[in-house]
Structure 1
Amino acid sequence: MMQPQLSSTIERRLLVNYRVDPVVVARLLPARMRPRLIRGHALAGICMLRLSKVRPNWAPKGVGLRSENAAHRFAVEWDGPNGIETGVYIPRRDTASRVNAVAGGRLFPGDYRLADFRVHETPDELHIAFDARDGAAHLEVTVALADELSSSELFTDLDAASTFFQGEAGGFSTTRPGGHLDGMALHADTWCMEACRVRSATSSFFDDPNLFPPGTATLDSALVMRDLPARWEPLPSMALAAH
């Protein structure tokens, strides 16, 4: 079932990015997808998103949901009817909202797992952590705002990173019982990213040697967006092909 178009405010969208061995990433993707390469690396990461005023476009502006969410992501490409298409594949979504968890696959794309979030933010620093209630995922990251993007091997500067992520607006999420991926595209009238310096980061996903053998996933960069109106447009479901 196609989800409705949604309006929202992105109060905060923190992207923590890893450069990863493409061979390792390829094993974690649906068969029809492949890693999108940047300077020979695959790109993966976690999006930590706080949304407010989330509502279907037909709902009154005075109503809307607010929630903390996290999504594990891979930058991917695939062969479409008109050539190569690009976007992100999201194998797991976590949320603090019971509404999101119940409405996943109907109002929101993909399945959501309930998690407990701990967030502390100032204008210059963000600390975000979550523990999934199913015990399968946890993360803790602290970043500080920076004047420029430095030490990234994926992006030459902040403008290059911002342009890349603006072009990765379409995301496809795992659903139950399987067989297809839910799709949703982010549209924002303004697009402003700020560079961050990572002070510390731990991830049960990227630190798992069974998924990412030592040396195959390296923390690369972090970026944040704040206080932006955004629209979410449903995309046609993508049928999965077996490996």
Structure 2
Amino acid sequence: MSVVPGVRAHLRRRLLVSYRLDPETARTLVPAPLRPQLVNGQALAGFCVLGLDGVRPRWAPAGAGLRSENAAHRIAVEWDDDGVVRSGVYILERHSSAWHPVLFGGRLFPGVHRRARFTTDERGDRYAMTMDAEGEHLAADVEVGGAWASSLFASVEEASAFYRAGRIGWSLGHDGVTLEAVALAAEEWAVEGARIRGVRSSFFEALPDGAAELDHVVVMRDLEITMEAPTTGADTRARAAV
């Protein structure tokens, strides 16, 4: 497996929209040796929409970089690593508004991306956006604050800990066979609960009836992040296991 250079970026906003997913359906979407990670007997899947500024190689100064909107469909997974169970996510597909991850994703930038068109309307604590790509559409309208509920997690703090633990993202490389890993790290970690005003995803709507049920959404804002191939400690063993 080739090592893709890491990048730094400023995360303006990240919406994490999550669904309860039937475990048997989830198993058909995840390649071995990964397997769905279950929460209260359910698989957890969803999509995230990230607004990034200052996307640049790790060695470039903070004032440099590019701006992009990005989306990823994902499933929480786990795998065995020398007798230890590790957790992360399997990324089914990535989309971006920018040319650099589409042309160089999986080579100079982490992760293979497809091109998509995004619209965004951000007003204070309310975020509304759409993504359109060939054969794919999603829309989300959420507002930070207010009552928050989930059948998978007892609190926003519990959900936050789960997402932070699953920072390694696996996805297929350009050959469609090799699994590649990218680890997301934030200098600080802050997750807020949000109310769902409206969500659509052609990916989840195409699954068998009742297989996916919308559960909750959380938001991350104004964070400095790094995305890179994991190279040390448990992350290295996880890569070797695949």
Q: TM-score, normalised by structure 1?
A: 0.92
**CA contact 1:76–1:86 (8 Å) conserved in 2:** yes
Say whether the 8 Å CA contact 2:77–2:87 is kept in structure 1: yes
Matches within 5 A, 1:1-243: 1-132=2-133, 135-150=134-149, 152-208=150-206, 212-235=207-230, 238=239
Which stretches in structure 2 are left out of the alignment for 5+ residues? 231-235
Is the CA contact 1:181–1:239 (under 8 Å) kept in the aligned structure 2?
no
TM-superposed deviation, 1:148: 4.5
Between the aligned partners of 1:116 and 1:162, the Cα distance in structure 2 is: 29
Counterpart of 1:205 in 2: which secondary structure? Answer: helix
Alpha carbons of 1:202 and 1:240: their partners in 2 closer, same or farther (altered >3 Å)?
farther
Contact 1:181 1:240 in 2 (8 A): no
Task: Point out where structure 1 has 5 or more consecutive residues left out of the alignment.
Answer: none
Measure how far apart 1:239 and its partner are: 7.7
Match of 1:153, SS state, is coil
Is the Cα contact below 8 Å between 2:53 and 2:66 reproduced in 1?
Answer: yes
CA-CA distance at 1:4 after TM superposition: 1.4
- Asked whether the equivalents of residues 7 and 230 of structure 1 are also in contact (C-alpha less than 8 Å), the reply is yes
**Counterpart residue type for residue 204 of structure 1:** S
CA RMSD, aligned part only? 1.7
For residue 214 of structure 1, give the secondary structure of its aligned residue in structure 2.
coil
Number of residue pairs the alignment of both structures matches = 235
* TM-score, normalising length: structure 2: 0.92
Amino acid at match of 1:229: E
Q: State the 4+ residue runs in structure 1 displaced beyond 3 angstroms.
A: 236-241
- Shift in alpha-carbon separation, 1:197–1:17, aligned structure 2, 3 A: same
Greater helix proportion = 2
